[in-house]
Structure 1
Amino acid sequence: MKNPDAFSLKSCLLYIALVLLLCGASMQKTYSQAEVAAWGNIKGIRIEGQLMEFETSLRVVGNDWRQISATGKERQRPTYAREGRKQIVTTRIDSLLLTETVEDTGTGQAKVTVQVTAKADTSIAGVFFSVALPGEEFSERSVQLIKPLGQPQKPQTTGGAQELMRATANGVKLMTNSRQLEILFSAPGVVILTRGSAENSRNLQLYLPVHLGPVKQGQVEEQTFLLRATGEIDRKPVTLKLNTAETGRAFAGIGGNFRLQNAKTDPQVIDYSLQNLRVSWGRVEMPWHLWQPELKSDPIKAAKAGTLHPHVQQSMEMAQRLSKMNIPVILSAWSGPAWAVVGEPKLRPGQDGVWGNPLAEANMNAIYKSIADYIAYLRDAYGVEVQLFSFNESDLGINIRQTPEEHAALIRGLGAYFAKRGLQTKLLLGDNSDANSYAFIYPAMEDPKARPYIGALSFHSWRGWEKETLQKWSDAATKLNLPLIVGEGSIDAAAWNYPGIFEEETYAREEINLYTRILAICQPLTILQWQLTADYSPLSGGGIFGDTSPLRPTQRFWNLKQLGATPEGLLAMPVTADRPNITSAALGDNGKGRYVVHLVNNGATREVTLTGLPDQVRMLRIFVTDKSREMNEGARISVVNGQARFTLNTGSFTSLMTEIAETSQTNQDPR
C-alpha cells in the first residue's frame, strides 16, 4: 500500500498547481487590456471593458523637424504577433527597424518597450514615442510633468513643428475631464510638446525620445515607458428605443467573397463556411486575362475544346457551386488581358503611384464581347446566371482603372451589349475601393442611358466609416431605388501582411461593430465578407498562414454566423441608444411579427431596457458572441408592455431575435 501522507501531499500539490493554472487563465483575461493596432499605434487601455482612449505612434523626425514619418495604417509593412500578455509589432521607417513590445502589466497598465536598430547611417533629430492630443479635449494645461528636473528649456525654433514646451522629467501626465494617462520613464528623459499642423492648429503632439540625434549603421537604442490609465467608467443603464413604424430596405443576410488564391488551404475554409454559415450572396472572380489572353483568340471555342485554363475552370466551378445552393452570384474581374488595356498591365502602382490600367478604347467592342462570352459560357456550360458584373475597385485601379465618366460609359455600353446578347446580367455601380470615393458613382447615377443597366450599388468597407460618408451611399441607393451591397466587408485591407491580428478580440469587435453601423446607416442588401476562403480567413489552423493546428472557427466566424442568423428579408428599422459606446441596428417584419436587434457593447457591462416592441412579441431569444462565448444562447427574455430588460456584457456582440434563421446549406453546427 502507498504511503497515504505522500498521496495527500501529491494531491495537495496537484490542487495548488490547478489553482495557479486557473488563476493564470483568469489573470490573462484581466490583463488583456491594451488595444494595439497591427502597425504599432496604441489606441488606448480598457478598464472593465471601457476604453480609456488615446493614440500613440512611433515617429522619426528629420533634423529640421519638417520631415516627420509616423507609423500608421497602410503606411508601412509591419508584422504583428502576440506572446501571452505581450503584443509585438515590428516595422520599418526608412533605414530604421522599429520593434515595439506592449505588455499588459495590471489593471489599466501597460509597459511599452521600443527598440530602434539602424540599418544605415541616418541623420535625424530623433526617434520618438509620441501621443496625439486632440484640441477639443487637451490644452497646454492638460500636460503636467512628473518629477521634473531643473527648469524647462526654452522651446526651440525649428522649421517644422512649433514647440510649446521642452523639459526633462521622470514622466508626464495627460488629463481630460473624464480620464487620465500617466507615462513614466525608465530614466529621466526629455518631454517635447508641439502644436499641430496649420490645418489642425488646435491639436497638440507629445514627443518622448527613444533616441535623440543621428544613428550609425548597426546602432541599437531602446527605451521603456510605463503607461497608467484611469478614468470614469460608464455603468449607467441604457434605454434602447425601437421604432417599428418606420421601415427601410431589406437585408438578405451575410455574403462572402470566393476569389480562389490558395489552392491548398482555400477548399477547407470554403467547405466549412458553406456548411456552417447562411450565405446569402457570393462574389467570384472572372480571371479575364486567362480567359482570352489574345485578342484574336476564340475563348468559347477553346473552352469547348477542353483547353480552359485551370484557374478559369476552378473559378467557374466555384460560381457553379454557389449557384447550385441558390446563392446569387456576382462576377468581378480584377485585371484584364494586355490587349484590353492601355500600357503594360500593372498589378502594383508605378513610380508615379498610380494603380492599374485604363481600358483600351479602340478595343471596346472586343472587350464587351469577351466579357459577355465568359458570362454566356458560364450560363450554358455551368448553369450559372450571373446577377451582377463589375470591375473590382476601378475607382482606384485594382487593376482596371476608370474615371467616373468612363465608369458611366462602361455601364451604358456593356449593359446594352449584355441585353443584346440576351444576358440577364446587370452592372454593379461602383464596387469602389472604399466608401470615401462616393463621387465616382455620380455621373452614372445622372445618366439616363446607363440607369436601365444598373442592378445594384456597391462599395468596400476598408475605409470611410464616418456616418456622413456612409449616409451618402444610403442616399444614392434610395435615389436609384436599388439595393446597396458591401462588396468586400472587413476593416483592414493590409491585414494579410500580419495575420496574427485576425485572432485578436479587438479586431473581431471592431469588424462586427462596423457591420452593425453599416446595417443601421446604409441598410445594405448584404455584406460580403472578405473572404470566406483562406485569404483573411475567419478560421484558423489547417495550415492557414502557416498555422498547422486543427482547423477551427475564430471569434470573427461566430460574429458572422450570429449576424447571418438574421431571418432573410427583414426590413431596416430605426433603433437608438441613450448612452454612448453602444452600437445598434434593428430589422423587422411587422406583418409576420419578426424582429432582430443587433448590439455591440464597446463599453462596460450595463443593464439595458429595450422599448418599442409590438404587443404581439412576448419573448425574445438572446445570443452572445465575445472572447469566451460562441453564439451562446442565454435564457429567453420576457417582453412586458413592449419592453425587454437584459444585461449587455462588455465586449459582446449580442443579438435579440424573435426567431433565428437556420443555416440553409446544412443543419451542421460547428460547435
Structure 2
Amino acid sequence: MTMKKTKKWILYALICTVLNIVVLPLVSAQTEVMAWGNLTGIRVEGQNMEFETSLRVAGKNWSVINSTGKEKQPRPRYDRDGTTQTVSTEFAGFQYTEIVKENGPGSAIVSVTSKAVRDTIIDGVYFCIELPDKYYSNATIRVNGSGKKRAISGLVSTTEKTRKLNAKSIIAESGQRQLSISLDASSPLIVLRDKNTGGYQLFIGLMGSNIKKEQQSQRKLTIKATGEIDKSPATIVVDIQNPGRRFDGFGGNFRLQNPKSDPQVIQYCLDNMRVAWGRVEMPWSMWHPEENVDPTDAAKAGKLNQHVHESMLMAQKLAKIGMPVIISDWSAPNWAILGDPRDAFRNRSKGIYGYPLNPEKTEKIYKSIADYIVYLKQNFGVEPDMFSFNESDLGINVRHTGKEHAEFIKGFGAYLASRGIATKMLLGDNSDATTFDFIIPAMNDPETHKYIGAISFHSWRGCDDETLKKWAGAAKKMNLPLIIAEGSTDAAAWTYPGIFYEQTFALYEINLYIRICSICQPLSILQWQLTSDYSVLKGEGIYRTMGPIQPTRRFWNLKQLASTPEGAFALPATCNKEEVNCAVFGNISRGEYAVHIVNNGAERTAEIKGLPADATMMEVYVTDETRGMEKTGEIRSSDGSFRLNIPQAAMITLLSKK
C-alpha cells in the first residue's frame, strides 16, 4: 500500500470512529413510534419507560371517542430522517402530521399539526397520553409548575362531572416512573381512566368544538420520561426432562409478486439462512381459467400460464434443497365461485371479504386442483406436503365457514387419496390467531382427521398468551404439528415500509416468534415473506432503498432463530424477568442446544440453568442496533450453569460448541 493510500485509510478510519462516537448515540431509536403515529414509550438505557400516545376525536358530549391505532387509519405514511420520525395520516375527518424528534436522553419533542377536512361539531381533538396502570396506579400529578402534588385519581372526569384544567406543563409521577410534558401554549387538560386497562389518560386539547373546513392547529409537546432501570439478573431455567415437540426450523413464504426484485432476495435468503419449510402460491385461477378447457392438456400444448410456471419452478427450487413445501391458493377461477370475482375486494368496506365456492362445481373443483398437484409432481418433481386456501376464514379470497372448511377437507382429502396423491390439508391457515373457532368443526369431525397434515394460523393479530395456548392445545389434542404459515406482526406494513428498518418493529417481530416458540412449540414459523415483499433485506430498489442488497436487523434476528440445530425439540424454559423472553431447543442425542433470548430491557446479567452436563461450551451471538448476529464470545458452564451479560434491547443466541 502506498503512503498516499495509507493516509487516506487513516483519515477514513478517523472519520468512521468520530461518526460512531457522535452519530450513533444520536440516531439511537430511543422513542418508540408506531407507523400510525402512536408513541409507545421512550427507552432509557434500553429500559422502555412505557406510555402510549394517540390522537383522539371526541364526539359531542363525549358520545364517542375515535382513536388512532393499528389498522384504524387508511394508509398512514411513516418516514425517518436521522433522529426525526414523521407520520402523516387522515383520521375521523382530520389530517394530521406528527413529527417526533429525539431530544436527549429520555426525551422527545412531538409536533402535531391538525387540519379539518370538513365542517364539524365535536367536543374536541386531543393528544392523549395513557399511563399504564402497573406503573401509575397510585400516581400524583402536578400542573403548571405547582409544587403541590395531587392524586391523579382525584382529577378523573366522569359522565356526571367533567373536570377541565388549563395546563402548560404536566408532571405525573409514581414510585417507579415520572413523565413530564411541557407544552408550547396552555391547553385544556382532561383526565379519564380507561375501563379496560385501568390506565389514566391525559387528554390534551389540540382543537375545539366548532370546527370549520381547512381550520388548522399546531401544538408542540416536549416529553421526558425517567424512572427505575431494572438491571437485576435474569435467571432462565430449562426443563431438560420434558422435551416437547420437534422444531424443524425457521421457514419462509415465497409467493412471487415482483419479477425484478424477488429472485435476488430469495437467493440471498436461501444462501445465507437455513430455511426449513417453504410455502408457495398455487395460482389456481390462472391454471384453469376456462371451465371447459382441460388445464393439463393446455399445459402440455405449451399454453401454461407464465405465473403458474414460475410458481411451479419456485416450488421445485425449494424441493431441490430438500425442503417440505406447502402450496396455497389465493384466488379461484370465475367458474368455480358464486358471485363476481370482484366481490373479493369491493365489499370490504362492509366487512365482507372474498367469495364462496360454487357447491354445484365441487367435483370439478376437486379435479382441477388435484390436476395441478399431479402436473407439478410429474413435470417438476414436487409433491406438495400440504394444500390450503389462504385465509379462507376471512376470504382472501376463497371464503369458507368453519363447517364448509371441514366439509372441504373431508371431500377433497378423500378425492386426493382416491388418486393416490399424498398431499394433506392444512387445518385452518387462518388469517389471525383470533379466529380459532373456525377450526372447531373440523376438529370435532373425526372423518377429517386422516386428511389433515398440520394445524395452521397466521400471526398478524391476536397473539396474546391465552389465544396462543388455544392453538397449542388444539395441536396437542389432535396430535398434529402446528405451523405458523405466515409470520409477522403488521399486515399493513407494506404501505409504510420505512417501519421495517426500525428497532421497534424488529424487536416486536422477534419477540412474537420467541413467545410462539415457547408457548406453542410449532413445527415451523414461515416468514411473510423471504421475497422483496415485506422484505427483510434492503437495497437494489426494494421499497426505494438504494445500494447493494444488504440484510436488515430483522434478517439477523431470523437468521439467529434459523440457526437452531436440525432435528431439535422444544425444551420448556422459564425466566424470572418480564422484560426477557426465551425459547430453548435441544437435540439430546447429538448434544446440540440453542438458547434464544430477547432482552427488551436494560443490559443485565443472565444465568441459564438446567442444560445437561454435555453442554459445556456455548457460542454467543448478538443482534442489536449496531450488530448483526455477531459472535461476541464463547462461554463455559460453571456448576452446570451458563452466565453472561445480555445487551439492552437485543436478541442473544447461545449455540452449542462441540
Q: 1:280 to 1:92 in 2, by over 3 A?
A: same
- 8 Å Cα contact 2:254/2:314 also seen in 1: yes
Deviation of 1:22 (Å): 4.4
**DSSP 3-state at the match of 1:488:** strand
Deviation of 1:162 (Å): 6.2
Question: Which residue in 1 is equivalent to 2:619?
Answer: 621
Q: Could you report, residue by residue, the CA deviation over 1:587-639 in whole angstroms, capped at 9, with x for unpaired residues?
A: 11222211111000000000111111212222111111111111111221011
Alignment partner of 1:339 out of 335, 339, 346: 335
- Pair 1:325-2:297 in alignment: no
- Pair 1:40-2:37 in alignment: yes
- Amino acid of the residue matched to residue 278 of structure 1? R
- 8 Å Cα contact 1:161/1:196 also seen in 2: no
Q: Could you report, residue by residue, the CA deviation over 1:287-342 in whole angstroms, capped at 9, with x for unpaired residues?
A: 11111112222111111111111111111111111111111110000111122111
Question: Which residue in 2 is equivalent to 1:418?
Answer: 416
Alignment partner of 1:232 out of 225, 228, 233: 228
**DSSP 3-state at the match of 1:414:** helix
Question: Which residue in 2 is equivalent to 1:245?
Answer: 241
- 8 Å Cα contact 1:148/1:169 also seen in 2: no
Deviation of 1:388 (Å): 0.2
Please say which of residues 565-574 and 55-64 is displaced more in the overlay. Answer: 55-64
What is the alpha-carbon distance in structure 1 between the residues aligned to residue 52 and residue 402 of structure 2?
A: 36
**DSSP 3-state at the match of 1:380:** helix
- Amino acid of the residue matched to residue 370 of structure 1? S
Q: Could you report, residue by residue, the CA deviation over 1:148-200 in whole angstroms, capped at 9, with x for unpaired residues?
A: 69xx9xx9999x96655211122222234321111111112211112445xx3
**DSSP 3-state at the match of 2:62:** coil
Alignment partner of 2:51 out of 33, 41, 54: 54
Alignment partner of 2:405 out of 388, 404, 407: 407
Question: Which residue in 1 is equivalent to 2:460?
Answer: 462
Question: Which residue in 1 is equivalent to 2:72?
Answer: 75
Question: Which residue in 2 is equivalent to 1:439?
Answer: 437
Question: Which residue in 1 is equivalent to 2:607?
Answer: 609
Deviation of 1:201 (Å): 8.7
What is the alpha-carbon distance in structure 1 between the residues aligned to residue 448 and residue 13 of structure 2?
A: 73
The alignment-based identity, stated in percent, is 48
What is the alpha-carbon distance in structure 1 between the residues aligned to residue 15 and residue 388 of structure 2?
A: 59
Deviation of 1:546 (Å): 1.8
What is the alpha-carbon distance in structure 1 between the residues aligned to residue 138 and residue 321 of structure 2?
A: 62
- 8 Å Cα contact 1:52/1:231 also seen in 2: yes
**What TM-score does the superposition give when structure 1 sets the normalisation length?**
0.92
- Pair 1:287-2:283 in alignment: yes
Deviation of 1:283 (Å): 0.3
Question: Which residue in 1 is equivalent to 2:169?
Answer: 171
**DSSP 3-state at the match of 1:89:** strand
Deviation of 1:421 (Å): 1.1
What is the alpha-carbon distance in structure 2 between the residues aligned to residue 525 and residue 16 of structure 1?
A: 48
Root-mean-square deviation over aligned CA pairs: 2.4
**DSSP 3-state at the match of 1:640:** coil
Question: Which residue in 2 is equivalent to 1:598?
Answer: 596
- 8 Å Cα contact 1:35/1:43 also seen in 2: yes
Question: Which residue in 1 is equivalent to 2:296?
Answer: 300
Q: 1:383 to 1:21 in 2, by over 3 A?
A: closer
What is the alpha-carbon distance in structure 1 between the residues aligned to residue 419 and residue 210 of structure 2?
A: 67
What is the alpha-carbon distance in structure 2 between the residues aligned to residue 89 and residue 620 of structure 1?
A: 43
- Pair 1:377-2:375 in alignment: yes
Q: Could you report, residue by residue, the CA deviation over 1:518-549 in whole angstroms, capped at 9, with x for unpaired residues?
A: 11111011110000111000000111112232
Deviation of 1:215 (Å): 3.1
- Amino acid of the residue matched to residue 245 of structure 1? Q
**DSSP 3-state at the match of 2:648:** coil
- 8 Å Cα contact 1:162/1:195 also seen in 2: no
**DSSP 3-state at the match of 1:183:** strand
Q: 1:526 to 1:95 in 2, by over 3 A?
A: same
- Amino acid of the residue matched to residue 43 of structure 1? T
What is the alpha-carbon distance in structure 2 between the residues aligned to residue 70 and residue 598 of structure 1?
A: 36
Q: Could you report, residue by residue, the CA deviation over 1:336-379 in whole angstroms, capped at 9, with x for unpaired residues?
A: 11221111123325042211111111111111111101111111
- Amino acid of the residue matched to residue 609 of structure 1? E
What is the alpha-carbon distance in structure 2 between the residues aligned to residue 24 and residue 179 of structure 1?
A: 29
- Amino acid of the residue matched to residue 292 of structure 2? K
Deviation of 1:21 (Å): 4.0
- Pair 1:216-2:212 in alignment: yes
Question: Which residue in 1 is equivalent to 2:563?
Answer: 565
What is the alpha-carbon distance in structure 1 between the residues aligned to residue 316 and residue 416 of structure 2?
A: 20
**DSSP 3-state at the match of 1:487:** strand
- Amino acid of the residue matched to residue 263 of structure 2? P
- Pair 1:96-2:75 in alignment: no
**What TM-score does the superposition give when structure 2 sets the normalisation length?**
0.93
- Amino acid of the residue matched to residue 466 of structure 2? E
What is the alpha-carbon distance in structure 1 between the residues aligned to residue 647 and residue 161 of structure 2?
A: 44
Q: Could you report, residue by residue, the CA deviation over 1:414-455 in whole angstroms, capped at 9, with x for unpaired residues?
A: 100010111110000000111111111111111111010000
What is the alpha-carbon distance in structure 2 between the residues aligned to residue 138 and residue 612 of structure 1?
A: 37
What are the residue-to-residue correspondences of 1:99-118 with 2, within 5 Å? 99-118=97-116
- 8 Å Cα contact 2:617/2:657 also seen in 1: no
Deviation of 1:118 (Å): 2.5
What is the alpha-carbon distance in structure 1 between the residues aligned to residue 291 and residue 68 of structure 2?
A: 45
Deviation of 1:98 (Å): 0.5
Question: Which residue in 1 is equivalent to 2:490?
Answer: 492
Please say which of residues 172-181 and 139-148 is displaced more in the overlay. Answer: 139-148
What are the residue-to-residue correspondences of 1:258-273 with 2, within 5 Å? 258-273=254-269
- Amino acid of the residue matched to residue 334 of structure 1? W
- 8 Å Cα contact 2:135/2:177 also seen in 1: no
**DSSP 3-state at the match of 1:449:** helix
**DSSP 3-state at the match of 2:229:** coil
Q: 1:232 to 1:331 in 2, by over 3 A?
A: same
- Amino acid of the residue matched to residue 551 of structure 1? I
Structure 1 unaligned regions, length at least 5: 1-12, 661-671
- 8 Å Cα contact 2:280/2:315 also seen in 1: yes
**DSSP 3-state at the match of 2:185:** strand
Q: 1:18 to 1:502 in 2, by over 3 A?
A: closer
What is the alpha-carbon distance in structure 2 between the residues aligned to residue 546 and residue 239 of structure 1?
A: 43
- 8 Å Cα contact 2:56/2:126 also seen in 1: yes
Deviation of 1:18 (Å): 7.6
- 8 Å Cα contact 1:88/1:102 also seen in 2: yes
Deviation of 1:141 (Å): 5.5
Question: Which residue in 2 is equivalent to 1:668?
Answer: none
**DSSP 3-state at the match of 1:600:** strand
- 8 Å Cα contact 2:410/2:451 also seen in 1: yes
Q: Could you report, residue by residue, the CA deviation over 1:453-474 in whole angstroms, capped at 9, with x for unpaired residues?
A: 0000111111122111111111
**DSSP 3-state at the match of 1:347:** helix
Q: How many residues get paired?
A: 642
- 8 Å Cα contact 1:174/1:181 also seen in 2: yes
**DSSP 3-state at the match of 1:81:** strand
Structure 2 unaligned regions, length at least 5: 1-10
- 8 Å Cα contact 1:435/1:461 also seen in 2: yes
Question: Which residue in 1 is equivalent to 2:5?
Answer: none
Q: 1:342 to 1:174 in 2, by over 3 A?
A: farther
Deviation of 1:204 (Å): 3.6
What is the alpha-carbon distance in structure 2 between the residues aligned to residue 68 and residue 245 of structure 1?
A: 52
- 8 Å Cα contact 1:148/1:170 also seen in 2: no
